Amino acid sequence: MLVPQEDELEQPPYLYPDYVGTRLRAPKEPLIILPKTLSDVTGPVYGHHRLGELDNDLTRQHEGEPQGQKIIVHGRVLDGDGRPVRNTLVEIWQANAAGRYRHKVDQHPAPIDPNFSGAGRTMTDDDGYYRFITIKPGAYPWQNHYNAWRPAHIHFSLFGRAFRSRLVTQMYFPGDPLFFQDPIFNSVRDEKARQRMISTFDLDATIPEEALGFRFDIVLEGRYATPFERPHA
User: Catalytic positions, please?
Assistant: 101, 140, 150, 153, 155
Classify 180 as helix, strand or coil: helix
Classify 208 as helix, strand or coil: coil
178 phi and psi, to 5 degrees? -95, 0
Residues contacting residue 22 through CB under 8 Å, at least 6 positions apart: 13, 14, 15, 16, 187, 232
How far, in Å, are 16, 41, 62, 101, 103 from residue 108 at the CA level? 25, 41, 23, 9, 11
CB atoms within 10 A of CB 165: 15
CB atoms within 10 A of CB 16: 19
